[in-house]
């Protein structure tokens, strides 16, 4: 009886100790994040949203080296977590996400978007969709694609080409060093995509969540510059029906036919009726693996030929549009302010300056 009572006391102490440890870890993590926000020069930013979830027992590491935030990145090929300094990470993202042949000012705009993305993710305490603990992002398009310097050496095998491209990348990153995009003094969700259909999309028309800086704007450069502007694919009728989960599609626009019901402000399909069911343009794009949610179709015997315009979700900055603006002489700040309405470019600042030690 005495042994049983003793075990119960020990168990209670262990449970209490475990709860205390969890609170301690969360407090340390929150403190580290607060320090990071000071370093970024964004006091109080998103503080009400960055507390770790109650059941979290793992504090994500936030470290600083030589006044620079270090990003723990999960590398999908090696399945390892690598600690990558912020500006080196941004350089690897720009190299992975945008063609190096693009104009320097377009690459600088991409650097601003990439740095803003990771800053906002850290500030929001968001390490979702990462398959391991102790990492904030992966090196895939689930977050932002990233290429290491070794990856780039393998990609640009010629030494002279590698050197020239790296110099261009370094300029894009160095000339925007420590800069992020802010709306109401908070880092934005800096969405970007490859190619527009001539317009960008309001955020709520694709994800059902409005953001005042993600508004539809014209993007006329894409049609002339992007090889991805127009794509045509064919589906056997049975495959199309299976992918959409409908039993029968007719060639007329009647109840079982295919008919666009509504378009978005960005000239994409908002809703469409196919085979008696109503879908959003986003749903059709995802179910069929289409390049864009602006699409049209034509019947070719027992197949349906679908043509899409643009490549990507259409929200935020068009990369080919950014390159087109840069070719016309626009600067990176002009580009991002065109695609992200009402934003300002803010400086992150150094840790010592933020703490008043310098």
What is each CA distance from 12 to 7, 17, 18, 26, 178, in whole angstroms? 9, 8, 10, 21, 49
Q: What local confidence, expressed as pLDDT, does residue 55 receive?
A: 33
Q: Which residue has the higher pLDDT, 30 or 165?
A: 165
Q: What local confidence, expressed as pLDDT, does residue 257 receive?
A: 87
Mean pLDDT of 296-312: 95
pTM for the structure as a whole:
0.82
The answer on pLDDT for 261 being more than 50 is: yes
* 8 Å CB contact between 306 and 235: yes
Q: What local confidence, expressed as pLDDT, does residue 53 receive?
A: 34
The answer on pLDDT for 89 being more than 50 is: yes
How far the first Cα of the chain sits from its last, in Å, is 65
DSSP 60: P
Q: What local confidence, expressed as pLDDT, does residue 347 receive?
A: 83
Q: What local confidence, expressed as pLDDT, does residue 20 receive?
A: 41
Q: Which of 217, 249, 228, 250 is CA-nearest to residue 307? A: 228
Domain ranges (residues) in the chain = 62-219+315-348, 230-309
Q: What local confidence, expressed as pLDDT, does residue 65 receive?
A: 75
Q: What local confidence, expressed as pLDDT, does residue 167 receive?
A: 98
Alpha carbon of residue 3 to chain centroid: 57
Burial of 302 (0-12, 13-18, 19+ CB in 10 A): exposed
Q: What local confidence, expressed as pLDDT, does residue 267 receive?
A: 98
Q: Which of 180, 52, 26 is CA-nearest to residue 128? A: 52
The answer on pLDDT for 210 being more than 70 is: yes
Sheet holding 186-187, edge to edge: 186-187, 179-183, 344-347
For 108-149, the pLDDT digits (tens) are 999 999 999 998 988 888 888 999 988 989 999 999 999 999
State percent of the chain over pLDDT 90: 68
Q: Reduced to 3 states, what is the DSSP secondary structure of residue 319? A: helix
Q: How far apart are CA 100 and CA 162, in angstroms?
A: 11
Q: How far apart are CA 181 and CA 29, in angstroms?
A: 25
- Give strand pairing partners of 82: 73
Burial of 241 (0-12, 13-18, 19+ CB in 10 A): middle
């Amino acid at each position: 009886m005495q042994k049983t009572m003793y075990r119960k006391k020990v168990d209670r102490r262990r449970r209490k100790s475990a709860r205390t440890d969890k609170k301690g870890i969360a407090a340390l993590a929150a403190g580290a994040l607060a320090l990071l926000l000071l370093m970024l020069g964004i006091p109080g930013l998103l503080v009400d949203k960055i507390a770790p979830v109650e059941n979290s027992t793992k504090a994500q590491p936030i470290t600083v080296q030589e006044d620079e935030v270090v990003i723990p990145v999960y590398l999908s090929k090696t399945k390892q977590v690598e600690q990558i300094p912020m500006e080196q990470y941004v350089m690897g993202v720009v190299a992975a996400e945008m063609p190096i042949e693009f104009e320097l000012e377009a690459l600088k705009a991409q650097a601003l978007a990439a740095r803003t993305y990771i800053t906002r993710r850290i500030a929001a305490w968001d390490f979702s969709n990462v398959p391991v603990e102790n990492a904030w992002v992966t090196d895939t398009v689930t977050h932002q694609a990233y290429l290491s310097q070794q990856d780039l050496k393998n990609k640009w095998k010629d030494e002279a080409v590698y050197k020239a491209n790296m110099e261009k990348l370094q300029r894009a990153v160095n000339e925007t060093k420590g800069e992020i995009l802010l709306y109401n003094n908070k880092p934005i969700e800096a969405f970007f995509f490859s190619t527009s259909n001539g317009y960008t999309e309001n955020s709520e028309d694709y994800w059902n969540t409005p953001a005042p800086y993600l508004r539809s704007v014209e993007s006329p450069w894409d049609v002339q510059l992007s090889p991805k502007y127009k794509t045509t694919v064919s589906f056997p009728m049975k495959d199309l029906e299976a992918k959409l989960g409908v039993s029968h599609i007719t060639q007329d626009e009647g109840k079982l036919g295919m008919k666009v019901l509504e378009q978005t402000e960005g000239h994409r399909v908002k809703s469409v009726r196919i085979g008696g069911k109503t879908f959003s343009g986003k749903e059709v794009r995802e179910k069929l693996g289409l390049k864009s949610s602006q699409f049209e179709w034509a019947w070719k015997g027992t197949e349906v030929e679908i043509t899409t315009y643009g490549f990507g979700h259409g929200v935020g900055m068009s990369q080919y549009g950014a390159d087109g603006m840069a070719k016309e002489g626009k600067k990176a700040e002009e580009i991002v302010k065109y695609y992200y309405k009402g934003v300002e470019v803010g400086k992150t600042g150094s840790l010592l300056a933020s703490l008043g030690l310098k």
